[in-house]
Amino acid sequence: MPPKKNMVPVQKPKDIKGIIKRIFSYMYGFKIQFFLVVAGVILSAVAGIAGNALLTPLVNNIEEACKSGEWDKKSFVGILLVMAAIYAAGAMAGFLYQRMMMKISTTTLMRIRNDLFNKMESLPVKFFDKRTHGELMSLYTNDTDTIREMLSNSIANFISSAITIVGVFALMIAYSWILTIIVIVMLFIIVGVIGAIGSRSSKGFIAQQTAIGKANGYIEELIGGQKVVKVFCHEEIANAEFDKLNNELCDAATKAHTFANILMPIMNNLSYLHYAATAIVGGIMSVSGFGGMNIGKLISYLQFTRQFAQPITQVSQQLNAVLTALAGAERIFAVIDEEPEADEGYVTLVNAVRGADGTLAEADKKTGLWAWKHPHKADGTVTYTEVRGHVEFDDVVFGYEPEKIVLNGISLYADAGQKIAFVGSTGAGKTTITNLINRFYDVPDGKIRYDGININKIKKSDLRRSQSIVLQDTHLFTGTVMENIRYGKLDATDEEVYAAAKLANAHGFITHLEKGYDTMLTADGANLSQGQRQLLAIARAAIADPPVLILDEATSSIDTRTEALIEKGMDSLMEGRTVFVIAHRLSTVRNSKAIMVLENGKIIERGSHDALIEQKGKYYQLYTGMFELA
Amino acid sequence: MLKKILSYVGEYKKTAILCPLSILGEVVMEVLIPYVMASIINNGIRKDNVGHVAIMGIIMVVMALVSLAFGALAGRFGAVASVGFAKNLRKALFEKVQAFSFSNVDKFSSASLTTRLTTDVNNVQMAFMMFIRTAVRAPMMLIFALFMAITTNAKLSLVFVVAIPVLAAIIFMIMSKAHPRFKAMLTLYDNMNGRVQENLIGIRTVKAFVREDYEKKRFVESTEAVRAAQVNAEKLVILTMPFMQLCMYASIISILFFGGHIIVDGDMLTGDLTQFITYVTQILMSLMMLSFMLMMFVISRASLQRIYEVLTEEVDIVSPENAITEVKNGSVSFKNVSFSYFKDMNNLALEKINLNIESGETIGVIGGTGSSKTTLVQLIPRLYDATEGQVLVGGRDVREYDIEALRGNVAMVLQKNVLFTGTIKENLKWGNADATDEEIIEACKQACAHDFITSFPNGYNQNLGQGGVNVSGGQKQRLCIARALLKKPKILILDDSTSAVDTATDASIRKAFRENLGDVTTFIIAQRISSVQEADRIIVMDDGKISDIGTHKELLETSEIYREVYDSQQKGGDADAS
């Protein structure tokens, strides 16, 4: 079983220039600081070079003293003082630019994260269907990490390296063009070596990434299903399988790291070779006095050869890291560039008051009466419609993917305050219907009407605010029980929270928790049982007090006895609201106003429980199926 | 702890030792090269002796080549050893986890185990590579360079007496202050990522409650907190470089100043001065390297700790010596069994259970959430050990069996079940690797899975994707049942395994069981009365105890709980019948 997930894409960004530009665009407000950083980098690099350049007069000064026995001590100390000043300035500049760069990079990173998250929140549900959580999480962890690395190290390093290389090279030419020929030869060798090793190393790292992806995917999957492995005594097969992946990873990683490791010693010693060559040629020149060479110049020049090699090594070492970071940035920007959830809705939800003549008018405070504010573009008038929760489907055809139709011509209506149930086997399209009511997915215009208004004209956020949903997989958030219930209505008072919890029959177990309502829920509420979590989810939906309620297998994890206990609460929760219920358990849906039996995306039967039983169709079969073997 | 973990270097020990040895060679060369350089200047250039320059130059080239060879070898050895070490560690961890019992897995949680096998091993690998490459290099470089400096000029070397302790003290102070700040930052960072993860999982909830803006606001708060903490920690760390530079520059200036005097006095040559400057760089750099190594170690210590925890975790369920390998029949009995997940007799999940089940019986188990139905049956294939009392299968204590033999005969379909990446057939073969196609089809028919499998374009070779994402919940449950049936077990346990299957299919699965698995002892845990009501006996669990046992009819009369459950599922039906 080869795991197919977690394949890390090849770490090479497509549009390097565009990405760099875009990363820089996140540094807005730091223009001056950024120039100061560049200036600081230049200053500190120049200080390093200039300090070394001063060695020449210093050594010559000493040489002079040795030869003549007369020491010009004043200029000796003078040179040292200048040198000290330059060095101090360099260190100072280094500190300042690093400090500033840190501020820029942390802020930039924060902005990118915020942008990414903001975008993520506004993306349609469809987007999340297509991607694994791991894939999206790695944008926040791996990819932002590599960008941070790049911002805080590589940028300054690149600038400083470039300055050093150019500066040192210029000085070298100025000191002796003949010796510089050796430098140029060296440069060709260096570029050749970096090219050869670098490309092998980056190939190695790509292979390593793939191998890591495979091995980690296998680890994640097998350990996630560890209990199943145990039950089937599958341990040895798993070990053998993992061994194979582990060895592949080991081979790839060894290759990658070998090339990365040997680059440094090769570059380092190349510079020694360079040094030796320079010393020999320079020595000959100095002895013969050719090209104005003298001992002081030569010593400085020899220092230059060392200084020259270092930044080249650094750049070559960081090149891979930068490319990886840019590839990560590209992935992040790709998500930021995703089309957000489209919403052309302009009908909004407002508080309303009823005038003496029965017409509605907008109110600026809570009235308990909600209305749809519907501006008409054609004549500029505004009409108000009371929010009642009337839902109508008209021949809705829908598929998550165009070629796979899930709903095939669904027509139905729910009058305000009615309880409508959907039953049918898994995959019949029950959940899909509720996904359309709150516009997680969109259908063509005019097919679904909500209080008589085309659902696509209603602003998504307002539409959803008028509905509450309790899903089978209850998602609670890190926070206290209180905060989790309050999620349904952020400004709810403590009393309202208690009332909602009581309604959902959750108050009892909450007060038995260690810290009651202040108990922290962690890791998706793992410290509660599935049933308790569902009760909290019901309380959360109750506190929102919406006209429409969608219960998607809301009570499936609650045993029937407990369900019977909370039935009263559920009944009072559902009272006066339009309720859509999806349940496997037919006992849950029995008292619905209308029951729709779905099969293969079609409503095959509809009616009240009694009528459907009378009909002796599919529902009857399903229902009596419970007892057919009795 | 270190010793235990380092033992996994194993066959790479030789390479791991060769790496620092090669580095030793490299270091010796690197320290000698400046000496040769000085000689070139002092005895060659200064004395206009081109011959000497040439000889020394050639020596230097040779030394550089030797150093290069050593360096490259060290790089290779380092890569092989550290990657190999990580491989061994990963293998050991994976195998250890495979040996874990359920309670071991519960203790760690699978998410945390995954992190330990991936991120933590990676951290250790990086730290180990860093270690074998610098643990020798840095101190050796320090010592050799210092030695060379002293032999060149002892007086001038006094500069290091000041420079080294000052720099060391500064680095130490910065690091020890920065460490807690980094830790604080990491906590905030984890919180932030936790927030993202929750939003990913619960995106529908967020959207349904229109809480996007609320979540955005909270996220911005946490990124801001991370940023602030990052600045707080890094502003200390970035001090190291400038301080290092200051120390280095100060040393260079003083060496030039004092060196100048010494040279003019005739006690030293100009070439020695540049040599000395090289030593300053080497010495202070190796000090920096040491401090980085220390930091790496501190960072990886948490990872080491977490790996160590897994490796030393005691596996509490293993096959005994001289284990029985044959399960005689499918009879099960519980003798005075109590069980606690925490091995705490005051916190019991099961209390004094006594039960005798004959081979071939069908047993229904019913009870509210938290009544320990699952706990009860998990003791049969010895997924957990009873805290007190005895569980017998085929007349023998489960602890006497070879675990593989026991679990091969006791097939359990878990409540939280998992399918793996691969085709349907590959998944089914988990039950029996040698199953023929006929056997597979037979099992799938019994689990009512054959029809939907053949409706897939690739039939039994349909790919499932990770976690079986390409099938619905009910289909997944039926595949899991078929997988268990392929074991041809003597005892079959279904732990709420048909909850997502519709009632009609549920009924036909049970019918198939009755017809084909007459001699298999079957346990059916269910929420629906209909799933268990035709069982030979039904156990009603309540709060870790058996409240009643009997047939459907008997229980309706004797068990209040059973009747309540029945009524809650029945109401409409009764009304309809009347």
A328 touches chain B (CB under 8 A): no
Helix (H, G, I), strand (E, B) or coil at A582: strand
* Chains A, B: CB pairs < 8 Å: 467
CB spacing of A425 vs B57 below 8 angstroms: no
Of B292 and A1, the structure prediction assigns the larger pLDDT to B292
Min mean pLDDT across A133-142, A334-343, A447-456, A519-528 is at A519-528
Examine the pLDDT at A526 and tell me if it is beyond 90. Answer: no
Residue B360: DSSP 8-state: T
Determine the Cα–Cα distance for residues B491 and A231; give it in Å rounded to an integer.
13
Distance CA B499, CA B505 (A): 11
Which of B83, B121, B429 is best to mutate for the A interface (most A CBs within 10 A)?
B83
The verdict on residue A9 lying in a domain is no
Yes or no, beta carbons of A564 and B53 under 8 Å apart: no
Q: Using alpha carbons only, give the angle B158, B164, B170 rounded to the nearest 5 degrees.
A: 145
Mean pLDDT to the nearest integer, A34-40: 90
- Separation in Å, CA of B50 to nearest CA in chain A: 6
Q: Distance between CA B543 and CA B373 in Å, rounded?
A: 9
What pLDDT score does B468 carry?
59
Q: Position of tokens 């099960």? A: B332
**Interchain CB distance below 8 Å, B201 and A133:** yes
List the one residue out of B233, B250, B98 whose CA is nearest residue B166.
Answer: B250
- pLDDT band for position B576 (cuts 50, 70, 90): very low
Q: What is the pLDDT of residue B466?
A: 60
* A630 located within any domain: no
Q: What tokens appear for B403 in the block?
A: 């675990």
The answer to whether residues A372 and A407 belong to one domain is: no
CA of A295 vs chain B CAs: smallest distance (Å): 7
Residue B350: is its pLDDT beyond 50?
A: yes
pLDDT digits (tens, 9 = 90+) for B70-106: 999 999 999 999 999 999 999 999 999 998 888 888 7
A225 shares its domain with A170: yes
Q: Does A461 touch chain B (CB under 8 A)?
A: yes
Residue A233 counted as domain residue? yes
Domain residue limits at A355? 348-386
Residue of A560, A571, A608, A627 to mutate for B, most B C-beta atoms under 10 A: A560
> Do A223 and B117 count as a contact with CB atoms less than 8 A apart?
yes
The b/e string for B248-272 (b: 16+ C-beta within 10 A; e otherwise) is bbbbbbbbbbbbbbbbbeeebbbbb
Residues of A whose CB is below 8 A from B246: 88, 91
Burial (Cβ within 10 Å: 0-12, 13-18, ≥19) of residue B89: buried
| Planar angle of CA A326, A327, A328, nearest 5 degrees | 90
Q: In this structure, are residues A500 and A545 in contact, taking their beta carbons and an 8 Å threshold? A: no
Task: Please report the pLDDT score of residue A117 as a whole number.
Answer: 93
Contact B260 A303 (CB under 8 A): no
- Which of A4-13, B160-169, B422-431, B448-457 shows the lowest mean pLDDT across its residues? A4-13
For residue B210, give how far its alpha carbon lies from the nearest alpha carbon of chain A (Å): 6
Q: Which pLDDT band holds residue A427 (cuts at 50, 70, 90)?
A: low
The mean pLDDT value for B426-448 works out to 90
Residue B575 has pLDDT above 50, yes or no: no
For the cut 50, the answer to whether the pLDDT of residue B511 exceeds it is: yes
Counting residues of chain A whose pLDDT is more than 90, the rounded percentage is: 12
Asked if A25 and A110 sit in the same domain, the reply is yes
Contact: A62, B264; criterion CB under 8 Å: yes
- Whether A4 is covered by a domain: the verdict is no
Exposure pattern of B365-399 as b/e (b: 16+ CB <10 Å)?
bbbbbbbbbbbbbbbbbbbbbbbebebbbbeeebb
Distance, in Å, from the CA atom of B108 to the CA atom of B120, rounded to the nearest integer, reads: 14
Residues of B in contact with A236 (CB under 8 A): 98
Walk across the sheet containing B332-339 and list its strands. B350-357, B332-339, B388-393, B396-397
Contact B79 A103 (CB under 8 A): no
Q: What is the pLDDT of residue A285?
A: 83
In contact, B297 and B127? CB cutoff 8 Å: yes
Residue A458's DSSP bridge partners are A347
pLDDT band at A251 (very low <50, low <70, confident <90, very high): very high
In this structure, are A359 and A464 located in the same domain?
Answer: no
Task: Tell me: do A398 and A472 sit in the same domain.
Answer: yes
Predicted confidence band at A9 (pLDDT cuts at 50, 70, 90)?
A: very low
Q: What's the residue count for chain A?
A: 630
pLDDT band at A12 (very low <50, low <70, confident <90, very high): low
CATH number of the domain to which A252 belongs: 1.20.1560.10
Within 8 A of A426 by CB-CB distance, chain B residues are 472-475, 500-502
Q: Are residues A364 and A411 in the same domain?
A: no
User: Chain B partners of A137 at a C-beta cutoff of 8 Å?
Assistant: 193, 196-197, 200
Give the pLDDT of residue A626.
47
Would residue A192 count as lying in a domain? Answer: yes
Residue A625 pLDDT > 60: no
Helix (H) or strand (E) holding A450: strand A448-450
Distance from CA of A23 to the nearest CA of B (A): 17
Query: How many other C-beta atoms can be found within 10 angstroms of the C-beta atom of residue A281?
Result: 20
For the cut 50, the answer to whether the pLDDT of residue A627 exceeds it is no
> Tell me, what's the ipTM?
0.81
Give DSSP secondary structure letters for B523-541: EEE-SSHHHHTTSSEEEEE
* Phi and psi, residue A141, nearest 5°: -100, -75
pLDDT at position B397 is 93
Give the distance, in angstroms, between the CA of residue A366 and the centroid of all CA atoms in the same chain.
37
Whether the predicted model's global pTM rises above the 0.90 cut: no
pLDDT digits 0-9 by tens, A394-414: 989 888 877 778 888 888 888
Mean pLDDT of chain A: 83
Residue A278 lies in a domain: yes
Mean pLDDT, residues B109-119 taken together: 80
Of A164-178, B109-123, B332-346, B543-557, least confident by mean pLDDT is B109-123
**Collapsing DSSP states into helix, strand and coil, what is residue B546?**
strand
Residues 6+ apart with CB under 8 A from A311: A160, A161, A162, A164, A165
pLDDT reading at A246 higher than 90: yes
DSSP code for A364: S
Nearest CA in chain A to B81: A254
A369 and A329 fall within a common domain: no
Question: Hey, which residues does A412 pair with through a beta bridge?
Answer: A393
Whether residues A49 and A104 fall in one domain? yes
Does A131 lie at the interface with B, CB-CB under 8 angstroms?
A: no
Q: Are B188 and B219 in contact (CB under 8 A)?
A: no
Q: Are A336 and A328 in contact (CB under 8 A)?
A: no
* Residues A239, A131 share a domain: yes
Q: Residue A320 pLDDT more than 80? A: no
Say how many Å lie between the first and final Cα of chain B, rounded: 73
Q: What residues of chain A lie within 8 A of the CB of B102, using their CB?
A: 227, 230
Half-sphere exposure of B495 (CA within 13 A, CB side): 21
Q: Lay out the sheet containing A382-386: strands in order across.
A: A360-362, A348-354, A370-375, A382-386
Beta bridge partners of B542: B545
Any B CB within 8 A of A109 CB: yes
Burial of B78 (0-12, 13-18, 19+ CB in 10 A): buried
| pLDDT 10s digits, A58-103 | 888 888 888 887 888 888 899 999 999 999 999 899 899 989 999 9
Q: Which one of A336, A360, A377 terminates a domain? A: A336
Q: What is the mean pLDDT of residues B369-393?
A: 89
Mention every residue, 6+ apart, whose C-beta is less than 8 A from residue A348.
Answer: A372, A373, A458, A459, A462
A91 touching chain B per CB within 8 A: yes
The arithmetic mean of pLDDT across residues B440-463, rounded, is 89
Q: Which residue has the tokens 């359309």?
A: A436
pLDDT of the residue at B391? 94
Could you tell me what percent of chain A has a pLDDT over 70? 93
What does the pLDDT read at residue A2?
31
pLDDT above 90 (res A610): no
Delineate the domains of chain B, giving CATH numbers in brackets: 2-311 (1.20.1560.10), 332-577 (3.40.50.300)
Maximum C-alpha span of chain B: 124
Distance from CA of B514 to the nearest CA of A (A): 12
What CATH number is given to the structural domain containing A462?
A: 3.40.50.300
User: Is A246 a member of any domain?
Assistant: yes
A 538-577 near B (Cβ less than 8 A): 540, 544, 556-564
Please state, in angstroms and rounded to a whole number, the distance separating the CA atoms of residues A87 and A262: 32
> What strands lie across the sheet with B537-542, from one edge to the other?
B410-413, B491-495, B521-525, B362-366, B537-542, B545-550
Asked if A80 and B253 come within 8 Å (Cβ–Cβ), the reply is: yes
Of A1, A331, A408, A419, the closest CA to residue A144 belongs to: A331
Tell whether A415 and A282 lie within a shared domain.
no
Query: Could you read off the pLDDT of A135-189 as tens digits, one per residue?
Result: 788 888 778 888 888 888 888 888 888 888 888 888 888 888 888 888 888 888 8
Q: Is A441 found in the same domain as A409?
A: yes
Between residues A323 and A427, which one has the greater pLDDT? A323
CB contacts of B241 in chain A (<8 Å) are: 94-95, 98
| Cα–Cα distance for residue pair A93/A104, rounded to 1 Å | 16
- Other Cβ atoms less than 10 A from the Cβ of B458: the count is 11
Comparing CB atoms, the residue among A133, A262, A270 nearest residue B76 is: A262
Considering CB atoms only, which of A110, A562, A626 is closest to B369?
A: A562
What mean pLDDT do residues A345-370 have? 82
- What is d(CA A230, CA A64) in angstroms, rounded to the nearest whole number? 84
The highest-confidence range among A250-259, A319-328, B189-198, B291-300, by mean pLDDT, is A250-259
Whether the CB-CB separation of A351 and A366 falls below 8 Å is answered with yes
**Domain shared by A291 and A358, yes or no:** no
Q: How far apart are the first and last CA of chain A?
A: 43
Question: Residue A1 domain-assigned?
Answer: no
Residue A541 belongs to what H/E stretch? Answer: helix A530-544
In this prediction, residue A233 has a pLDDT band, given cuts at 50, 70 and 90, of confident
Residue partners of A166: CB distance under 8 A and separation at least 6: none
Which residues of chain B lie closer than 8 angstroms to A590, CB-CB? 571-572
Domain total of chain A: 3
Alpha carbons B70 and A109: distance in angstroms, whole number: 41
